[in-house]
Amino acid sequence: MSEETNPDTLALHPDLVFRAAGDEGVAVDQRKSEILVVNGLGLRVMQLVRAHGSRQAVLTALLAEYEAPAERIAADLDAFLDEMRQRDLLC
Amino acid sequence: MYHTVIQERIRRLHLLHSVMLELTYRCNLNCFYCYNDPEAAGTPLSVDQYLRLFDDLESMQVLFLSFTGGEPLAHPQFFELAGAARRRGFAIRVKSNGHAIRGEVARRLRDEVNPMAVEMSLHGATASVHDRQTRVPGSFERLLENLTQMQQLGLRPSFVSTLTAWNAPEIEAMYALADRFGVRLRWQGPVSPRQNGDREPLTIQPSAVDWERVRAIAEGRRASAAVPAANPLEGATKPPATDEDRPHCGIGTQEVLVDPFGNVYPCVQVRWSAGNLHRQPIRAIWEQATAFGDARRLSVATAKRFAGQRPTQFGAPIFCPGVELTYLGERGQRTDIPLNDWRKSSPLR
């Protein structure tokens, strides 16, 4: 029997660590010793993914925090999550 | 961008970004040139004090945490501490001689700590040279056995070597050894006096010609793209070139060293006391201690002293003002903690 996975579920790769540096973020992909710089929104998304673990919860939190059209925020969120997936930073 | 914009911002905002923890001065090897003071004494930090430190560092957004020593795995609570650090989301480096990282220890290191790097000391390309420096027969063969185990487990080992007169004839062979295992080899130096002023290690200082060979070999390897571009002395922090008062190194700007007894210093070589964790939390020390500003001024003064030059030290193509201070007789400053203070804070009370 195959295990169903919830497409809404998000988790950071265990080899991804990050911190805030002022209003931006610095992340390290430990597998490559690669240092990544993310903007304020990217930093907040990573914090929310770690805290909530689902796209919907992250989006709900962002909508409450940012004064921008919901479609724009959702699009920015999905674009960032896609980039993270391409870098294998989500699992 | 990280090495330019972000590093500049970290310095400008005076953010603590990286912390090096000397967990213990105990060691299972006995390296001839070790700079630690074998007589250093004090009240070790307790596990609870380390956990409070980690909580503070996490809230201060410190990213990098290095465990060193002595041999950090010789600390009896190493896994408890390193695992707790891992759970708080630090990027962890373990600087080890590698002698104990085998079997169950290696497995626990992977499962409980998952460090981004395990940097191990390579003293030569042959047992005769390596074991001569470590003064422990069999340490070379054991290092290579352990390296293989670590790679099989998915740990991320690399080599660091201090160039000495004894291992200089094996520079090329040490690179070949690192290549054989597919790990990076980083050089560091010069050999420095011990923290207690003992100059015995300087008797195996390599020559300027030896350092030139390292530079030429590293250049050749870069040119052939056999390895990723890397400065053979990349551990040295490069300051931004745009500062009016340009520093010589990054000392006092974003990193601290904590010794086993809670003393906080600007760096390994400049042991000017910034405070002690038995008395103050790290945030207060980082925000209030004058030692960091003094260290930055030392760095700027060093840059002005060597303006337009490429300074060397004992033949090495690098100049560390802290090594010079130790060589000239300065000793590390420690905050004396009365025993009754320790008893009040000890979980064993």
Each residue's pLDDT tens digit, B165-221: 999 999 999 999 999 999 999 999 999 999 888 999 999 999 999 999 999 999 999
What is the enclosing helix (H) or strand (E) of B20?
strand B18-22
Structure tokens at B154: 């998915």
So what's the ipTM on this one? 0.88
With 50 as the cut, is the pLDDT of residue B343 above it? no
Task: Note whether A34 contacts B: Cβ–Cβ < 8 A.
Answer: no
Q: Where are the alpha helices (DSSP H) in chain B?
A: 7-12, 47-59, 78-87, 103-108, 127-134, 139-153, 171-181, 208-223, 282-288, 291-305, 321-327, 339-345
Q: What confidence tens digit (pLDDT) does each residue in B249-281 have?
A: 989 999 999 999 999 999 999 999 999 999 999
Winning range, highest mean pLDDT, from A18-27, B79-88, B338-347: B79-88
The answer to whether A22 contacts B2, with C-beta atoms less than 8 Å apart, is: no
Closest chain A residue to the Cα of B57, Cα to Cα: A19
pLDDT band for B348, please (50, 70, 90 cuts).
Answer: very low
CA distance B46 to B44: 6
Looking at the DSSP assignment, which residues form a beta bridge with residue B258? Answer: B21, B264
Structure tokens at A80: 């960032």
Residue B145: Cβ within 10 Å count: 13
The answer to whether A33 contacts B61, with C-beta atoms less than 8 Å apart, is: no
Closest chain B residue to the Cα of A39, Cα to Cα: B6
CA distance B35 to B22: 13
Q: Which of B1, B17, B62 sits opposite A37 (nearest CB)?
A: B1
Name the nearest CA neighbour of B274 among B346, B332, B199.
B332
Candidates B61, B111, B119, B186, partner chain A, best to mutate (most A CBs within 10 A): B61
With 90 as the cut, is the pLDDT of residue B13 above it? no
- Burial label, A53 (beta-carbon count in 10 A; 0-12, 13-18, 19+): middle
What does B242-304 look like in DSSP terms, one character per residue?
Answer: T-TT--SS-TTTSEEEE-TTSEEESSSS-----EETTTS-HHHHHHH-SHHHHHHHHHHHHHH
Chain B residues within 8 Å of chain A (Cβ atoms): 1-2, 5-6, 9-10, 13, 15, 17, 61-63, 89-91, 114-117, 156
pLDDT band for B245, please (50, 70, 90 cuts).
Answer: confident
| Dihedral Cα B334, B237, B118, B203, nearest 10 deg | -70
Q: Which residues of A touch B6 (CB under 8 A)?
A: 21, 24, 26, 37
Arithmetic mean of pLDDT, B132-144: 98
pLDDT band for B333, please (50, 70, 90 cuts).
Answer: confident
Residue B347: predicted pLDDT: 36
Residue A54: predicted pLDDT: 95
Q: Which of B15, B114, B116 sits opposite A21 (nearest CB)?
A: B15
Task: Note whether A23 contacts B: Cβ–Cβ < 8 A.
Answer: no
Measured between CA atoms, how close is B107 to chain A, in angstroms? Answer: 17
Q: What is the CA radius of gyration of chain A?
A: 13
Residue B234: predicted pLDDT: 39
The answer to whether A26 contacts B117, with C-beta atoms less than 8 Å apart, is: no
Residue B127: predicted pLDDT: 98
The answer to whether B156 contacts A24, with C-beta atoms less than 8 Å apart, is: no
Greatest extent of chain B over all pairs of C-alpha atoms, in Å: 61
Residue B297: Cβ within 10 Å count: 14
Lowest mean pLDDT among B52-66, B168-182, B317-331: B317-331
Lowest mean pLDDT among B52-61, B113-122, B133-142, B323-332: B323-332
More confident residue, B237 or B308: B308
CA distance B174 to B183: 11
Arithmetic mean of pLDDT, A3-15: 81
More confident residue, B297 or B336: B297
Q: At what angle do helices A40-52 and A55-65 cross, to 10 degrees?
A: 130
Predicted TM-score of the model (pTM): 0.89
Phi, psi of B157 (to 5 degrees): -80, 155
Q: Which residues of A touch B61 (CB under 8 A)?
A: 19-21
Estimate to the nearest angstrom the gap between the alpha carbon of B264 and the chain centroid. 14
With 90 as the cut, is the pLDDT of residue A7 above it? no
pLDDT band for A4, please (50, 70, 90 cuts).
Answer: low
The answer to whether A15 contacts B5, with C-beta atoms less than 8 Å apart, is: no
Strands B275-276, B263-265: pairing kind: antiparallel
Residue B3: predicted pLDDT: 74
Arithmetic mean of pLDDT, A60-77: 95
The answer to whether A21 contacts B9, with C-beta atoms less than 8 Å apart, is: yes
* Cis peptide bond prior to B190, omega within 30° of 0: yes
Measured between CA atoms, how close is A73 to chain B, in angstroms? Answer: 25
Name the nearest CA neighbour of B262 among B324, B310, B333.
B333
Residue B37: predicted pLDDT: 86
With 80 as the cut, is the pLDDT of residue B49 above it? yes
Dihedral over Cα of B260, B261, B266, B270: its sign:
negative
Mean pLDDT (chain A, rounded): 91
Task: Note whether A22 contacts B: Cβ–Cβ < 8 A.
Answer: yes
CA distance B6 to A82: 24
Contacts of B294 (CB under 8 A, 6+ apart): B252, B266, B272
Residue A33: predicted pLDDT: 83
More confident residue, B193 or B3: B193
Place of tokens 């080992």: B157
Measured between CA atoms, how close is B99 to chain A, in angstroms? Answer: 23
Estimate to the nearest angstrom the gap between the alpha carbon of A33 and the chain centroid. 19
Mean pLDDT (chain B, rounded): 89
CA distance B91 to B118: 12
**One-letter amino acid of B206:** P
Arithmetic mean of pLDDT, B218-243: 58
The answer to whether A33 contacts B9, with C-beta atoms less than 8 Å apart, is: no
CA distance A91 to B2: 25
Arithmetic mean of pLDDT, B118-142: 98
Strands B263-265, B255-258: pairing kind: antiparallel
Phi, psi of B186 (to 5 degrees): -115, 140
The answer to whether B6 contacts A37, with C-beta atoms less than 8 Å apart, is: yes
- Burial label, B246 (beta-carbon count in 10 A; 0-12, 13-18, 19+): middle
More confident residue, B172 or B338: B172
CA distance B206 to B200: 14
Place of tokens 């969120």: A77
pLDDT band for B336, please (50, 70, 90 cuts).
Answer: low
Residue B337: predicted pLDDT: 56
